[in-house]
Amino acid sequence: MEEYYMDENPNVPVDELKAIIRKHTIDLSFCPVFLGSAFKNKGVQPLLNGVIDYLPNPTEVRNFAFDPKKGEDDDKVEMEINNKKPFVGLAFKLEETQYGQLTWIRVYQGKVKKGTQIMNTSTGKKAKVSRMVRMHSADMEEVSEVGSGDIFALFGVDCASGETFCDLNTNLNMTSMHVPEPVMSLTIKPKK
């Protein structure tokens, strides 16, 4: 950074600069900021390029789950991107569609096939995987199997965002996400 700002004619190679930004972004000591607007697609491509250039890929991130009977602080189990391990997935988004609730799930470990049963570890309810889709913008692609690292959506699964799904022989919860306190909050109340 000193070379870039102090030298009148800085000669920092772009690849070296990207590698330094990526390293510090991954160890959370630096946060790149992108400006733009989805309106007229301003700044969207540099943002997408930044995701590729600076954020870790799934093999570079350590994800943990825990036994809900023991608690989040005891004996965490590290998730492996491995299709031979038991299925563990996290419901991260719920969407109401004309076909009912669409539950978006990221597979952290293992794989799941159409027709198998999975369990919501928060409620203990079992659900049959009847219709699985991969989303491409607003288009749905029917799939019969997904594996580690995939994101897919299910129809007809009643759950809340942030709940963990496992195969029937596994009882793990994904560790909760850290959500910082809002910098600003606003409440709107009706007069009547």
CATH code: domain of residue 86: 2.40.30.10
The pair of three-digit structure tokens given for residue 62, joined into one six-digit string: 């350590």
pLDDT at residue 115, as a whole number: 92
SS3 5: helix
CA distance 78 to 173: 11
Q: Would 184 be classed as within a structural domain?
A: no
What string of pLDDT tens digits covers the 192 residues of the chain?
777 677 777 777 889 889 999 999 988 888 899 998 888 889 999 999 999 999 998 778 888 888 877 766 667 888 888 889 999 999 999 988 887 889 999 999 999 999 999 999 989 999 999 889 998 877 889 999 999 889 999 988 888 888 999 999 888 888 776 677 878 888 888 988
The answer to whether residues 17 and 92 belong to one domain is no
Residues 68 and 129 in one domain: yes
CA distance 1 to 87: 44
Number of residues written out for the chain: 192
Q: Supply the pLDDT for residue 72.
A: 65
Range of the domain at 48: 2-54
The verdict on 72 and 45 lying in the same domain is no
Same domain, 47 and 93: no
Q: CA end-to-end span of the chain, whole Å?
A: 56
Q: How many whole angstroms separate alpha carbon 97 and alpha carbon 154?
A: 12
Whether 101 and 133 share a structural domain? yes
User: Are 102 and 168 found together in one domain?
Assistant: yes
Q: 50 and 109 in one domain?
A: no
CA distance 152 to 31: 28
Contact status, residue 170 vs residue 88, Cβ threshold 8 Å = yes
Whole-number Å distance between alpha carbons of 73 and 104: 27
Q: Tell me if 78 is assigned to some domain.
A: yes
Handedness of CA 44, 50, 53, 57 (dihedral sign): negative
| CA distances for 39 relative to 33, 69, 179, angstroms | 18, 48, 28
One domain for residues 71 and 124: yes
Whether residues 147 and 70 share a domain: the answer is yes
Query: Taking Cα atoms as reference points, which of 145, 141, 149, 140 lies closest to residue 129?
Result: 145
